[in-house]
């Protein structure tokens, strides 16, 4: 990928490894960044991750680790030896948890990028207020991003709508951005969404797109259209 362009990460949220294989047979290498989550990891495990890496993909394992520092860091060490491009953990686990994870990754001699989930893109309005009463989401977002930077993470995961708030902050961190939709309405369980082009214009380093590609009549054309819209944005 040209470093100045926002890249596409395709979220392979399909039922089973065989569905993922068929999809990738069609997608080819339109994008080399592929995200897999807990379901495919539960079903295919490490052999499936290794298979995708051997097919030439950069694998983003989105496990969103969240536990006490010792537990997360001790999982990061072996996970970062799998040859992953990136792995996620929750910034709300705190700075010590993140810093110990970075140390564990470094001890493993790995280049896997550690990305911190800031505020889930599904949380907005009442859903946020329900579990964070009286807490301003923007303040929490910035605090989490800055903690991720202090802890030495490589990037954060945030909504496209958060990017403006992060301008000039946590500058060393890449911005990996799900919550991508062609229009605001009908975003399923996503609450804070924007188009891929809006995300790129606001500073996303990568956009993460699942259902808009997977459920399109022609998923490969949908992926290619998103890539074309990202390429229109130059920085
Ligand atoms: O805050 C977050 C963090 C991760 N995700 C993941 O991104 C994809 C988005 O899928 P869509 O189908 O495009 O909604 C999905 O795998 C999530 O687990 C996120 O959406 N929000």
Q: Per-residue pLDDT tens for 85-117? A: 999 999 999 999 999 999 999 999 999 999 999
- pTM higher than 0.90: yes
| Cα–Cα dist 23/121, whole Å | 25
- Enter the tokens of residue 203: 């500073």
Ligand 1 centroid to Cα of residue 34, in Å, is 12
- pLDDT higher at 2 or 146: 146
For residue 125, name the pLDDT band (cuts at 50, 70, 90). confident
Rg for the chain, CA atoms, rounded: 17
Q: Residue with structure tokens 């990460």? A: 9
pLDDT, residue 223, reads: 95
| Cα–Cα dist 78/54, whole Å | 19
Q: Convert 15-60 into a string of H (helix), E (strand) and C (coil).
A: CCHHHHHHHHHHHCCCCCEEEECHHHHHHHHHHHHHHHHHCCCEEE
Residue 106 bears catalytic tag: no
- Enter the tokens of residue 78: 């072996």
Percent of the chain with pLDDT over 70: 97
Between helix 219-231 and helix 17-27 the angle, nearest 10°, is: 60
Burial pattern 35-53, b for ≥16 Cβ within 10 A else e, equals: bbbeebbeebeeebbeebb
For residue 185, name the pLDDT band (cuts at 50, 70, 90). low
Average pLDDT for 45-49? 98
Query: Is 69 marked as binding a ligand?
Result: yes
Q: Are 178 and 11 in contact (CB under 8 A)?
A: yes
pLDDT, residue 3, reads: 60
Query: Is 197 marked as binding a ligand?
Result: no
Q: Are 217 and 23 in contact (CB under 8 A)?
A: no
Q: Judging by beta carbons within 10 Å of its beta carbon (0-12, 13-18, 19+), is residue 200 exposed, middle or buried?
A: buried
Q: Is the pLDDT of residue 1 over 70?
A: no
Q: Is the pLDDT of residue 147 over 60?
A: yes
Ligand 1 centroid to Cα of residue 37, in Å, is 9
Query: Is 55 marked as binding a ligand?
Result: no
Residue 62 bears catalytic tag: yes
Active-site option among 3, 19, 58, 62: 62
- CATH fold of 7-234 reads TIM Barrel (3.20.20)
Residue 19 bears catalytic tag: no
- Enter the tokens of residue 215: 């459920």
| Cα–Cα dist 133/126, whole Å | 9
Distances (CA, A) of 13 to 2, 10, 210, 229: 26, 9, 6, 22
Distances (CA, A) of 172 to 34, 188, 208: 23, 32, 20
Strand partners, 65: 89
Half-sphere CA count of 85, side-chain side, radius 13 A: 16
Q: Where are the domains of the chain?
A: 7-234
Q: Is the pLDDT of residue 206 over 60?
A: yes
Percent of the chain with pLDDT over 90: 94
Averaged pLDDT score across all residues of the chain: 95
């Amino acid at each position: 990928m040209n470093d100045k362009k926002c890249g596409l990460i395709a979220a392979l949220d399909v039922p089973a490894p065989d569905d993922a294989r068929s999809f990738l047979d069609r997608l080819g290498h339109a994008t080399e960044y592929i995200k897999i989550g807990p379901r495919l990891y539960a079903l295919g495990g490490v052999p499936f991750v290794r298979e995708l890496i051997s097919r030439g993909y950069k694998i983003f394992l989105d496990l969103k680790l969240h536990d006490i520092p010792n537990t997360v860091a001790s999982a990061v060490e072996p996970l970062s030896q799998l040859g992953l491009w990136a792995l996620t953990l929750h910034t709300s686990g705190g700075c010590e948890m993140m810093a110990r994870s970075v140390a564990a990754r470094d001890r493993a001699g790995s280049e896997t990028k550690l990305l911190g989930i800031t505020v889930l893109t599904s949380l907005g309005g009442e859903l946020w207020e329900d579990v964070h009463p009286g807490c301003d989401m923007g303040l929490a977002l910035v605090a989490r991003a800055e903690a991720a930077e202090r802890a030495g993470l490589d990037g954060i995961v945030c909504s496209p709508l958060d990017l403006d708030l992060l301008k000039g902050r946590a500058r060393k961190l890449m911005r990996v951005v799900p919550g991508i939709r062609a229009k605001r309405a009908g975003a399923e369980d996503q609450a804070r969404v924007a188009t891929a082009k809006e995300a790129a214009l606001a500073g996303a380093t990568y956009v993460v797109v699942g259902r808009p590609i997977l459920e399109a009549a022609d998923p490969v054309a949908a992926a290619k259209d998103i890539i074309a819209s990202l390429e229109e944005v130059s920085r």
